[in-house]
Amino acid sequence: MKSDLQRIPGVGPAMERFLLELGYRNVASLKGQDPQEMYDRSCLQRGVELDRCVLYVYRLCVYFAQTEYPDPQKLKWWYWKEKEQ
């Protein structure tokens, strides 16, 4: 059965696979999660340091799961990049 994770903007089949590998089966399961911890676990599981854009998508995923009426600007993965000083 297909998950609903691809409802999240920026989550296609590859990112869905990453989330499933971490144990998240649906959007609701992402509520209250720590995107940095998710990224760190993904890196450990794969044995490599993943591109930082994976972290940005994880931030978007948690925001989407926790926000009833998300801001359209925040539904773009690049919104979640570290801000320049």
Confidence grade of residue 66 (pLDDT, cut at 50, 70, 90): very high
Q: How do residues 12-63 score in pLDDT, each as one tens digit? A: 999 999 999 999 999 999 999 999 999 999 999 999 999 999 999 999 999 9
pLDDT at 85: 47
Please provide the DSSP assignment of 31-78 as one string.
TT--HHHHHHHHHHHHTS---HHHHHHHHHHHHHHH-SS--GGGGSGG
pTM above 0.85, yes or no: yes
Q: How far apart are CA 46 and CA 55, in angstroms?
A: 14
Q: Count how many Cα atoms sit within 13 Å of the Cα of residue 8 in the half-sphere of its side chain.
A: 33
Q: Is the pLDDT of residue 2 over 70?
A: no
Cβ(69)–Cβ(2) below 8 Å: no
